[in-house]
C-alpha cells in the first residue's frame, strides 16, 4: 500500500460522520481535521473538549463508547507545545477516531474526561506524571509511575534521557 | 483498618502494591499503587533508531513478547507504507497464537496456584516448555524473542519447525482437557470463582477493560476478528464470550481461547504460503548475509541501515492488536527522521486494573487475590 498524502482540509473531510456531527453541533469546537494512513484525527478547541467527548460517546449512529488511550506529544520548542491525544473506539461500529487538543507550554491545563469515560483516570494520571499537564476536575491527580517526590516531567523533550544527575 | 498488600506479595505477579481499607474481612476501598517496575521505555525509544526499538518491546510484556513485537512493527510498517509478503504475515499469526497459548498457560498455572490448586501449575509449565523450545528454535531465544523485524521476519524458520509445531498442536488439545478436569468441575474451584469479583458489561466498557476481562462480562469484541490486522481475516475462529462477568467466566474465556488458538495454529500450518519472508524494501530491510558479502550494493544498504537507520515519513499511527490480556496499542509519531519522535504503548493491563475497585469493594479480602489473578496482570506492561 503506497502512501497517499494526508488530507488536512476540513472542507473535504466534513462528510466523515464524527466530524459532521461535531460541526453540526458547534463549528467553533472543531479546529481542524486530518485523514492520514486510514486514520482520522480531529483537532478540538480545548474549552469544548468535554462536551465534544460526551457528544461522540452518546452519538446513536456510532457511539464511541470505549476510550482506548490518552497520551501526549511534546513539540518543544514550538508553540503550542503540547498535543493531548485521545484514541476513541466504537465497539458496536468497530470504528476509531483520534481527538487532539493543543496546549501552550506554560502551565498546560485541560478539562478531565473522567466523567465521560472513567477509563481516563489512570491514563490522565500517567500524562500528568510524565508531561506535567494538569487535568482540572480529575478526582485523584497524583503521580502514577514516578515516585511522589520526583522532580520534573521525564517525557518532556527538554528532560535529558539520562535524567538530571 | 488500612492493610498494605505487596509490593512483594506472591499473588501480585510482580511488584504490585495494593492498599486496602478493610472492615473486618470486608474490603471497603482498594487502591492499587503501581510504578515499581517503571523503566522509562517510552523515553528510551526516542533515543533509538526504529529498528533498535524492537528488542525494547519484548521487555514490556515479557509473557507475550511476540505480540508486542508485532504491534510495534505493524505500526512502523503502516507509517512507512510497506507491503509484507504473505508468508511473513502467516508466520506472525502462527507465532502470535503460540504466544497467546504460552501466556494463558502461565496465567492459568499461577492463577490456580493463588487460589490453592497447586497441581495445575506443573501441568501448565510442562506444555509451556514445549512452546518455549519452539521459540528458541525459531529465534534463538526462549523469552525475549525479537523475531519480527520491520518489513518481515528476522530469519527463515528452521527446517523442522513446522513439523515440531504440528506435533505440538496435535498433542495440546487433550492437555487442555486435563487442566479442565482438575479445575472446571472442581467444587472448591467453583466456590472460589463463581459469583466472585463480578463486573457488569457497562462498567467493563466504561473502565476501558479489554480482552478476556471484557469478554468475560459478555461483550463480544475481539480485535483479531473485528478490526483484523496481519492477515487475521483469513482465519476462521470463534471468540469465546461468557455472560456472568465473574472470575469463573474469565477463566472459561481463556481456557476456550486455548482451543481456538490451537485451531488457528493448525490453519496457519495447513495454509502456510511459500515465498519471501521479508518485504522488498532494500532501504528498510537488512539484506541477506550472503548478498551482503557478495554484492557491493547490498553491503552499502547494510552499512547505511546499521549506522544511520532509515527515515520514516512524517505522520502518526495508532496500531492496536489483541494481546492475551486485551488491546495492546502502539502510538508512534514520526517527524521524518530515523528515530521515533514519540512512541507510546497502550497497556491492556493498566486499563484492566482500573476495574479492580469495581470487582472487589464490598467483598471479602480473600476474593481480592482471585480478582487480581483473573485480570491477568503483568507488571512489566503496566509500568513500562
Domain CATH code at residue B311: 1.10.645.10
Question: What is the DSSP annotation of chain A?
Answer: ----PPB--HHHHTTSHHHHHHHHH-GGGEEEEEEETTEEEEEE-GGGHHHHHHHHHT-SSS---EEEEEEEEE-TTSSS-EEEEEEEEETTTTEEEEEEEEE-SSS-EEE--TTT-TTHHHHHHHHHHHH--EEET-TT---SSS-TT--S-TTSTTS-TT---
Q: What mean pLDDT is predicted for residues A21-40?
A: 84
Who contacts A28 (Cβ-Cβ below 8 Å, separation ≥6)? A45, A48
Question: What CA–CA distance (Å, rounded) separates A128 from A141?
Answer: 7
Please say if the pLDDT value at position A1 is more than 60.
no
What is the pLDDT at residue B317? 92
Instruction: State in words which class domain A10-105 has.
Output: alpha beta
Cβ-in-10-Å burial (0-12, 13-18, 19+) of B309 comes to middle
Angle at B322 between CA A85 and CA B373, to 5 degrees: 100
Contact B165, B98 (CB under 8 A): yes
d(CA B124, CA B109): 6
Instruction: Work out the average pLDDT over A9-38.
Output: 82
Quickly count: other Cβ atoms within 10 Å of residue A159's Cβ.
18
| DSSP one-letter string for B164-191 | HHHHHHHHHHHHHHHHHHHHTT-HHHHH
Evaluate whether residue B275 is within a structural domain: yes
Chain A, residues 95-114, CB within 8 A of chain B, namely 96, 98
The phi and psi torsions of B149 (rounded to 5 degrees) equal -120, 160
Q: What are phi and psi of B326, to 5 degrees?
A: 145, -150
Per-domain residue ranges of chain A: 10-105
Question: B90 to each of B152, B156, B196, B266, how far by Cα in Å?
Answer: 11, 13, 39, 11
Tell me the nearest-neighbour CA distance from A68 into chain B, angstroms.
7
> What is the rounded CA–CA span in Å between residue A20 and residue B146?
43
Per the listing, cell 501466556 goes with B103
Rg, C-alpha atoms of chain B: 21
Identify whether B19 is part of a domain. Answer: no
In tens digits, what is the pLDDT along chain B, a chain of 384 residues?
888 887 877 777 778 888 889 888 888 889 888 888 888 899 999 999 999 999 999 888 888 889 999 999 999 999 998 889 999 999 999 999 999 999 999 999 888 888 888 888 899 999 999 999 999 999 888 888 889 989 889 888 898 899 999 999 999 999 998 888 888 888 888 888 888 888 889 889 999 899 899 998 988 899 998 899 888 888 988 999 988 888 999 999 999 999 999 999 999 999 888 888 888 888 888 888 888 889 999 999 999 999 998 889 988 999 999 999 889 999 999 998 999 999 999 988 899 989 988 888 888 888 888 888 888 888 888 888
Average pLDDT, chain A: 87
The DSSP code for B364 is B
Inter-chain contact A37–B34, Cβ cutoff 8 Å? no
Of the partner residues B206, B342, B344, the one whose CB lies closest to the CB of residue A119: B206
For B34, name the nearest residue in chain A, comparing CA atoms only: A145
Please give the grid coordinates belonging to residue B52.
533498535
Binary contact (B205, A155; C-beta < 8 A): no
β pairing state of A95-103 and A39-44? parallel
Contacts across the A-B interface (CB distance below 8 Å):
95
For residue B270, whether the previous peptide bond is cis, meaning omega lies within 30 degrees of 0, is no
Residues of B in contact with A1 (CB under 8 A): 81, 83
Split into its structural domains, chain B has a count of: 1
Would you say residue B23 lies in a domain? no
Chain A residues within 8 A of B355 when measuring between CB atoms: none
Q: Identify all chain B residues contacting A36, using CB atoms and an 8 Å cutoff.
A: 315-316
State how far residue A109 is from chain B, nearest Cα, in angstroms.
21
Query: Is residue B370 one of the residues assigned to a domain?
Result: no
Q: Name the maximum alpha-carbon separation found in chain B.
A: 75
Q: Which domain holds residue B201?
A: 38-358
Contact of B46 with B337, CB cutoff 8 Å: no
Say what the pLDDT of residue A2 is: 65
Backbone angles phi, psi at A59, to 5 degrees: -65, 115
pLDDT of res. B102: 92
Does A33 contact B at CB distance below 8 Å? no
Residue B120 within any structural domain of the chain: yes
Residue A77: per-residue pLDDT: 86
What pLDDT score does A27 carry? 80
Amino acid at each position: 500500500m503506497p502512501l497517499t498524502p494526508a488530507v488536512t482540509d476540513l472542507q473535504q473531510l466534513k462528510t466523515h460522520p464524527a466530524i459532521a456531527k461535531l460541526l453540526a453541533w458547534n463549528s467553533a469546537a472543531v479546529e481542524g481535521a486530518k485523514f492520514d494512513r486510514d486514520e482520522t484525527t480531529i483537532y478540538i478547541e480545548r474549552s469544548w473538549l468535554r462536551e465534544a467527548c460526551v457528544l461522540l460517546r452518546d452519538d446513536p449512529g456510532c457511539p464511541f463508547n470505549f476510550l482506548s488511550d490518552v497520551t501526549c506529544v511534546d513539540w518543544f520548542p514550538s508553540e503550542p507545545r503540547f498535543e493531548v491525544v485521545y484514541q476513541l473506539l466504537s465497539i458496536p461500529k468497530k470504528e476509531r477516531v483520534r481527538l487532539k487538543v493543543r496546549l501552550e507550554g506554560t502551565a498546560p491545563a485541560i478539562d478531565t474526561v473522567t466523567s465521560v469515560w472513567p477509563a481516563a483516570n489512570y491514563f490522565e494520571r500517567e500524562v500528568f506524571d510524565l508531561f506535567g499537564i494538569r487535568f482540572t476536575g480529575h478526582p485523584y491527580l497524583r503521580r502514577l509511575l514516578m515516585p511522589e517526590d520526583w522532580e520534573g516531567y521525564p517525557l518532556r523533550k527538554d528532560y535529558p534521557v539520562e535524567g538530571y544527575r | 483498618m488500612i492493610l498494605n498488600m505487596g509490593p512483594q506479595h506472591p499473588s501480585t505477579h510482580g511488584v504490585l502494591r495494593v492498599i486496602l481499607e478493610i472492615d473486618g474481612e470486608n474490603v471497603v476501598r482498594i487502591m492499587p499503587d503501581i510504578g515499581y517496575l517503571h523503566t522509562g521505555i517510552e523515553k528510551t525509544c526516542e533515543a533509538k533508531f526504529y529498528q533498535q526499538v524492537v528488542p525494547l518491546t519484548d521487555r514490556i510484556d515479557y509473557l507475550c513478547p511476540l505480540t508486542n513485537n508485532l504491534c510495534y512493527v505493524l505500526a512502523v510498517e503502516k507509517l512507512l507504507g510497506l507491503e509484507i509478503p504473505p508468508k511473513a504475515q502467516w508466520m506472525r499469526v502462527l507465532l502470535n497464537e503460540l504466544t497467546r497459548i504460552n501466556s494463558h498457560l502461565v496465567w492459568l498455572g499461577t492463577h490456580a496456584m493463588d487460589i490453592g490448586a497447586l497441581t495445575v501449575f506443573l501441568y501448565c509449565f510442562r506444555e509451556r516448555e514445549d512452546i518455549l523450545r519452539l521459540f528458541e528454535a525459531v529465534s534463538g531465544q526462549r523469552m525475549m524473542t525479537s523475531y519480527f523485524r520491520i518489513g518481515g521476519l528476522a530469519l527463515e524458520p528452521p527446517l523442522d519447525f513446522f513439523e515440531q509445531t504440528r506435533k505440538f498442536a496435535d498433542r495440546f488439545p487433550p492437555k487442555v482437557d486435563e487442566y479442565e478436569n482438575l479445575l472446571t468441575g472442581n467444587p472448591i474451584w467453583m466456590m472460589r470463582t463463581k459469583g466472585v469479583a463480578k463486573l457488569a458489561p457497562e462498567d467493563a466498557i466504561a473502565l476501558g477493560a479489554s480482552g478476556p476481562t471484557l469478554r468475560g462480562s459478555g461483550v463480544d469484541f475481539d480485535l483479531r476478528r473485528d478490526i483484523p490486522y496481519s492477515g487475521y481475516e483469513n482465519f476462521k475462529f470463534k471468540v469465546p464470550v461468557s455472560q456472568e462477568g465473574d472470575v469463573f467466566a474469565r477463566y472459561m474465556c481463556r481456557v476456550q481461547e486455548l482451543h481456538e488458538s490451537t485451531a488457528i495454529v493448525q490453519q496457519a500450518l495447513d495454509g502456510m504460503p511459500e515465498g519471501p519472508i521479508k518485504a522488498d524494501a532494500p532501504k528498510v530491510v537488512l539484506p541477506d548475509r550472503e548478498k551482503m558479502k557478495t554484492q557491493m550494493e547490498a553491503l552499502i544498504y547494510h552499512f547505511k541501515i546499521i549506522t544511520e537507520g532509515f527515515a520514516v515519513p512524517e505522520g502518526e499511527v495508532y496500531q492496536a492488536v489483541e494481546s492475551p490480556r486485551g488491546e495492546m496499542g502502539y502510538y508512534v509519531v514520526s517527524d521524518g527522521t530515523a528515530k521515533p519522535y514519540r512512541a507510546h504503548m497502550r497497556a491492556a493491563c493498566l486499563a484492566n486494573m482500573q476495574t479492580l475497585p469495581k470487582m472487589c469493594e464490598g467483598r471479602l479480602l480473600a476474593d481480592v487475590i482471585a480478582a487480581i489473578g483473573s485480570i491477568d496482570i503483568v507488571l512489566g506492561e503496566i509500568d513500562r
